[in-house]
Amino acid sequence: MTPHDTQTLINKAKEVLALNDMGGWTRPDPGLYVHQWLWDSFFAAIGQRHYDIERAKTEVRSPFRAQWKNGMLPHIIFGDAKGYHAGPELWHCERSKDAPDNIQTSGVTQPPVAAEAVVRVGQKLSAEERRAWYREMYPKLLAYHQWFYRERNPRGDGLPVIVLSWETGMDNTPPWMHSMHRYAMSLRAQLIQQANFTSIMERFRKDTAAVPAEERISTIDLYAVYDLIKSLRKYKYDNETIMREHKLLIVDVTFSCILIRANVLLKEIADEIGEALPMDIEHAMHVAPHALETLWDTETQQYCNRNVSTGRLIKIPTVSTFMPLYAGVLPKERVKTLIRQMHDPKTFGTPFPIPSTPINSDYFRPNRYWQGPTWVNMNWMLADGLERNGEKKEAEQLRERTVDMIARGGMQEYFSPFDAEPAGAANFSWTAALLIDMLTD
Ligand code: 9WN
């Protein structure tokens, strides 16, 4: 790519971020996701830091204005826009004693990339400014991380229990959909499915006005997710009740890996400002990598989610199997195995890697959301992980393929792993932001 092309792409990406700039926060896109999402904002800041550091700081601060009293950062903060398919009237977050006052949010969280964004912004500051920035952010970040261990880690093994596929950010990822169908379909969802009512229910969907239905979560899966949200709402988002009563409790590989990495970054922040991490976090940092290894399935040679209720691994392959590269430094042999799998043309080794679901999976569709397409945020984290695992060339190659995919497909939400055909929402913020990051660093 010529320097000229690079500059044109960066300019286009900045235009997308400007288009989605709502003042103090960035929406994911102009049509479908018209509120604020947690990990989207942190990814947005990772791009913004390259050309407007103050704006990036504002973006990182903004999700904390809705931090729950128990420390949780909610996955959506609702603004005034109308029309989103799962708005405040579905969540009723005010039913929780922990919900923030005077602001509407969802009642679950999303992968904790907050510490990553705080550190990436910190990298662009002078040592003195960085310490001030870290002093400001550390207590809020710490409260968030401690919430996981107080409320979502009954086994004390350092891996959080996730209660809705939307928390993982990979909404219809196959292992979650499989377990939901098997163990957690509401009566209503079962009836819709059995009576073949899905085509009728399809008409009531709001999300498919913005994006074609075949690129989104299926209708039955969406209604089942809505019903799970209603059951969390019934439990008033109280995690003690949820851990006891909820039908779908999963230890998720991607989520776990992001939290493991986030704790390492939290420690970096604490060290720089002379703070000692509390015991609960120290303990989690010590035990979580061992617990992560129990998610490795020797038979199928992949990392798998675990269904907490059955105790069994869900052996359905997805891109998550590579995320332990992002979590930390793995033994060389394991790194080589994962890289071999990434390049296998029968599974993940596509022209525009890495597909969210391998191409030989029954679930695979090249344009259906988290069941096949390639996502820029996953590639960004995996390239970072490859690099920290000593695989610089692999990391560079993955970034090049990702940039090429965006250059062909545009600033889209996701892409076909075969030919970079764009799918999902257009003018998508994290694609733009992470592209800027990949082209700048
Ligand atoms: C539900 C905003 C979000 C992303 C998620 C992605 C999608 C929402 C939806 O959009 O989820 O949270 O309505 O489909 O799966 O990762 O944060 O971009």
pLDDT, tens digit (0-9, with 9 covering 90-100), for 97-125: 999 999 999 999 999 999 999 999 999 99
Q: What is the DSSP letter of 120?
A: H
What is the rounded CA–CA span in Å between residue 239 and residue 163? 9
What is the rounded CA–CA span in Å between residue 121 and residue 260? 20
Report the Cα 114 to chain-centroid distance in Å: 11
Q: Calculate the alpha carbon distances from 153 to 131, 158, 161, 227, 305 in Å.
A: 31, 7, 6, 24, 15
Per-residue pLDDT, 166: 98
Closest by alpha carbon to 6, among 357, 331, 404, 291?
404
Q: What is the mean pLDDT of residues 376-399?
A: 98
Query: Does the beta carbon of 428 sit less than 6 angstroms from any atom of ligand 1?
Result: no
Q: Given the DSSP bridges, would you call strands 422-423 and 414-415 parallel, antiparallel or unpaired?
A: antiparallel
Q: pLDDT digits over 225-248, tens only? A: 999 999 999 999 999 999 999 999
The mean of the pLDDT values for the chain is: 97
Please state, as a whole number, how many other Cβ atoms lie within 10 Å of the Cβ of residue 255: 27
Please state, as a whole number, how many other Cβ atoms lie within 10 Å of the Cβ of residue 86: 18
State the distance from the centre of ligand 1 to the C-alpha of 286, rounded, in angstroms. Answer: 31
Please state, as a whole number, how many other Cβ atoms lie within 10 Å of the Cβ of residue 98: 18
Catalytic residue, candidates 59, 167, 171, 207? 171
Report the residue among 33, 375, 428 best suited for mutation to probe ligand 1: largest number of ligand atoms under 8 A from its CB.
33
Query: Does the beta carbon of 375 sit less than 6 angstroms from any atom of ligand 1?
Result: no
**pLDDT surpassing 80 at residue 47:** yes
State the distance from the centre of ligand 1 to the C-alpha of 269, rounded, in angstroms. Answer: 29
* Cβ-proximal residues to 211 (8 Å cutoff; 6+ apart), any chain: 31, 32, 413, 423, 424, 425
413 labelled catalytic: yes
Ligand 1 atom index nearest CA of 85? 13
136 labelled catalytic: no
Burial of 274 (0-12, 13-18, 19+ CB in 10 A): exposed
Largest alpha-carbon pair distance within the chain? Answer: 64
Q: In 23-85, where does DSSP find H-type helix?
A: 38-48, 53-61
